[in-house]
Chain A
């Protein structure tokens, strides 16, 4: 079975402080993992992806994520939050499990306080 769990529905940080958005996954086969961001009234945008190469993945806008197979986690981090980071973030797992399957997490809403 394949699933993805975003552990926090809402995260609130102050501008300039670190961001941590947590994601755990379950997959019977080697998955590809993605983080997407959704700003209000805008389409989903890819932040970064893991495809079995380097376990530390760097993305756009200073975000990065580390693939930890032993913990089945793919947490998203950023050293210093900016007001423009306020948005909904989705962790996505994709693999061939009885057919191609792409599953989105429920999302984490990031609030950034001035």
Chain B
């Protein structure tokens, strides 16, 4: 079992550009959540996808959008990048959307905006 895999592992973008991050969930999982972890801080919830729809969203602007595919994999898109978007982006997968459900995390994508 490969667990949760994210790509790429590292990425450097210029302010104003757009970026797409990818996540493959753990085998058997149908729900994907995305988090932003700034340096020295805890992860912040961006949004959650289930059945190819955004089910929950944190306090992030519309520049952050996502998608879930029929095979449960997911993408996170960020438009009009700002320097403050530099962070580790974590993907977590689970079976179902309940708040008691254990989430399995990938190793993250380190995004640097210059």
Decide whether A and B are members of one complex.
yes
Question: Which secondary structure characterizes the binding site on chain B?
Answer: loop
CB distance from B28 to the nearest CB of A (A): 16
Q: Does B74 contact A (CB under 8 A)?
A: no
Contacts of A49 in B (CB 8 A): 100, 102
Q: Does A73 contact B (CB under 8 A)?
A: no
CB distance from A51 to the nearest CB of B (A): 4
> Number of B interface residues, CB 8 Å?
26
Contacts of B45 in A (CB 8 A): 101-104
Q: Once the chains bind, are B42 and A96 in contact (CB under 8 Å)?
A: no
Q: Look across to chain B and name the residue whose beta carbon is closest to the beta carbon of A88.
A: B42
Q: Look across to chain B and name the residue whose beta carbon is closest to the beta carbon of A91.
A: B42
Q: Once the chains bind, are A43 and B105 in contact (CB under 8 Å)?
A: yes
Q: Once the chains bind, are B97 and A43 in contact (CB under 8 Å)?
A: no
Q: Once the chains bind, are B99 and A94 in contact (CB under 8 Å)?
A: yes
Q: Once the chains bind, are A102 and B99 in contact (CB under 8 Å)?
A: yes
Contacts of A107 in B (CB 8 A): 40-42
Knowing that A43-B4, A95-B99 touch, tell me 12 more A-B residue pairs with CB under 8 angstroms.
Answer: A32-B99, A41-B107, A43-B106, A100-B48, A100-B97, A104-B42, A104-B44, A104-B45, A105-B42, A106-B40, A107-B41, A107-B42
| B residues in contact (CB < 8 Å) with A | 3-4, 33, 35, 40-45, 48, 55-56, 58, 90, 92, 97, 99-100, 102-108
The contact sample of 12 A-B pairs, CB cut-off 8 A, is A43-B4, A43-B105, A43-B106, A90-B42, A95-B99, A96-B99, A100-B55, A102-B33, A104-B35, A104-B45, A106-B40, A107-B40
